[in-house]
Amino acid sequence: MSTTAELQAQPAVERVTTLELFFDLVFVFTITQLSTVLSHELSWSSLGHVVLMLGLIWWMYDGYAWLTNAVSTRGVAARAVLLGGMAGYLVLALAIPEAFNGSGLAFGLGYLIVVAVHASLFIWTASTQSSRAFLGIAPYNLFNAALVVIGGAVGGTAQAVLWTVAVILEWSTPWIANRESQSEFEIAPAHFVERHGLVIIVAIGESVVAIGIGAAGLAVDAELVLVAILGLLVAAGLWWAYFGSDDDEQAERALTDAPARRRPWIALHGFGMAHFFLLLGIVLVAVGLKKATGHAYDSLTYGQALALGGGVAMFLAADVAFRRILGLGRAPHRAAAALAALATIPLGAEVAAIAQIGLLAAVLAVALGGEGSSTQNRTR
């Protein structure tokens, strides 16, 4: 059997495979690298760079989620090609810390590999309907990848401009391209929800890793143990917000119940755009926890306190948006908790890091616990 025939013979799958989880681990390395950029220099300029890079990276990661949602990766040929995409992600991840200071071309070339592998697999392996729909998007992805390569090669202001244009064009592609063809993508709800849930849980683990990195070389005393436990509680609160009320199962039901032609748009807005801000929130929280660890009783800078409180607020606000897009409820407790998280910023900047982290953990526990109590009362 030829390679092309082997690829075309693979049926779509409903559950996430271990190869996809392996791919997600490589992707989350990019999240770690983005946190490193902000940890090294916490400024509005660095945040802008992180937003641009995450915009590029997440667009294509989500493209791979759509790809493996539509086709199987169990064949040898498909696995080999997908490993090429993983290699591209590894290259651009390695280039992230200095992407705007000399390694932009490496980032761009890695990104081009990611885009080319994705296009090849989608065209070769997807169903006729999904492949036809993707052909309306592929030229835009390749054009944007070319902008990223050129921007990385020239550097400076031109790089920031070209990468900004690439991000805007990428996230506008579904509206620029044929809107009707976008509706032709086939979405397998169980796989799609599980795949995105896995990347969120692994990314939340980045917050725990940040505590460990911040604690490297420090004595394991009462101060370190306390700030580590409170940081873990904040990470657990993020997990609780996303998973704790069987929201993943509800999301799967919402996608399943939606008309087939509407599913791609729900997937784009809920799992694409809303999850971008979920991940950016996780990056900011990880930076804040890393800065606080080892300096629990010292005050943070306003930038560090903003990263910590703002990251939690962004995660909760994005979660509220995600729930509304899928029709899972308005979640007023989470919206209030997002505002309360912002209110903790002066506490971290003027009092102590541990005070802000402790209050954030309490805000998450009270809001989500209160939401659970309200839900139980309504169902009685």
C-alpha 270/C-alpha 253 separation (Å) is: 14
Confidence of residue 130 (pLDDT cuts 50, 70, 90): low
pLDDT at 14: 61
- Whether the model clears a pTM of 0.75, i.e. scores above it, the answer is yes
pLDDT digits (tens, 9 = 90+) for 32-88: 899 999 999 999 999 999 999 999 999 999 888 888 777 777 777 778 878 888 899
Confidence of residue 372 (pLDDT cuts 50, 70, 90): low
The amino acid sitting at 139 is P
Asked whether 315 and 238 are in contact (CB, 8 A), the reply is: yes
pLDDT digits (tens, 9 = 90+) for 234-245: 999 999 999 876
pLDDT digits (tens, 9 = 90+) for 271-296: 999 999 999 999 999 999 988 888 88
Sign of the C-alpha dihedral, residues 223, 303, 62, 330?
A: positive
Residue 109 in tokens: 């070339």
DSSP track, 324-345: HHTTS---HHHHHHHHHHHHTH
Residue 333 in tokens: 């407790």
Asked whether 349 and 299 are in contact (CB, 8 A), the reply is: yes
N- to C-terminal Cα separation, the chain: 59
